[in-house]
């Protein structure tokens, strides 16, 4: 703006804050106007802080990643790998499983990551939430579950996002009511990443 680069803009805002605080503290004494200037200075400091966080958001997010993973293990955190590539990191939950929050057809869905499952499957409740009508599906594909043999239906998702990684026309299975407690992220979706690995308590997906 006005030919200033990012560093010049930050410096200008910082100097403006100092000027306002100086006028408020020595130029007007204990008047109501001085209080107004001090309040203005506080708000300008907040503005500087927000601008600085935005300008240096990449290193800030890098430092905050371990805290975010502890507070919400299913949240995908972006990181930089050893070779400089971008990675998506999911932390193992306290029960030993990996879960991930995905955006499915514009609706948030939490998946249990199951590398032993060949297909990504939705519970019937999640299928309804993302706009799939189970009444229009044909449940004719057999699968062995913990509760015994079940039959699931095939469907397609218009959009599927994990963090910044976006997929289109994603094939999924839809389980009958009561056959599954939570939706599963299987290898049919995981294999669409260029690579993945498990490092201790972290699952790393490389777009």
177/86 same-domain check: yes
115/193 same-domain check: yes
- Radius of gyration of the chain measured on its C-alpha atoms: 25
Question: Which pLDDT belongs to residue 2?
Answer: 47
99/184 same-domain check: yes
38/83 same-domain check: no
Residue 36's domain comprises 6-55
User: What are 125-162's pLDDT values in tens digits?
Assistant: 999 999 999 999 999 998 877 677 889 999 999 999 99
- Distance from C-alpha of 172 to C-alpha of 117, rounded to nearest angstrom: 12
105/156 same-domain check: yes
Give the three-class secondary structure for 91.
strand
Least Cα distance to 23 among 35, 12, 14, 13 occurs for: 35
Distances in Å between the Cα of 167 and the Cα atoms of 12, 74, 103 are 43, 19, 10
Evaluate if residue 78 carries a pLDDT over 90: no
Question: Which pLDDT belongs to residue 71?
Answer: 44
User: What are 158-207's pLDDT values in tens digits?
Assistant: 999 998 889 988 999 999 988 889 999 999 999 999 999 999 999 999 98
Give the chain's domain count: 2
73/120 same-domain check: yes
51/99 same-domain check: no
192 in any annotated domain: yes
Q: What CATH number does the domain containing 122 carry?
A: 2.40.70.10
33/117 same-domain check: no
Residue that the structure tokens 């804050």 belong to? 17
Tell me which DSSP letter residue 25 carries.
I
- Distance from C-alpha of 105 to C-alpha of 156, rounded to nearest angstrom: 10
1 in any annotated domain: no
């Amino acid at each position: 703006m006005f030919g200033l680069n990012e560093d010049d803009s930050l410096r200008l805002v910082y100097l403006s804050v100092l000027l306002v605080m100086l006028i408020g503290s020595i130029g007007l004494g204990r008047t109501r106007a001085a209080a107004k200037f001090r309040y203005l200075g506080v708000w300008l400091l907040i503005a500087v802080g927000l601008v600085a966080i935005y300008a240096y958001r990449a290193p800030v997010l890098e430092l905050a990643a371990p805290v975010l993973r502890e507070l919400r293990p299913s949240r995908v955190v972006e990181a930089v790998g050893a070779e400089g590539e971008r990675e998506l990191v999911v932390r193992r939950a306290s029960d030993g499983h990996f879960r991930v929050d995905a955006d499915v057809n514009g609706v948030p869905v939490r998946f249990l990551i199951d590398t032993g499952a060949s297909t990504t499957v939705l519970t019937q409740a999640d299928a309804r939430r993302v706009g799939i009508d189970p009444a229009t599906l044909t449940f004719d594909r057999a699968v062995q579950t913990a509760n015994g043999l079940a039959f699931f239906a095939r469907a397609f998702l218009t959009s599927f996002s994990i963090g910044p990684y976006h997929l289109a026309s994603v094939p999924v299975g839809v389980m009958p009511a009561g056959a599954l407690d939570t939706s599963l992220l299987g290898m049919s979706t995981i294999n669409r990443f260029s690579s993945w690995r498990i490092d201790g308590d972290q699952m790393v997906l490389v777009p």
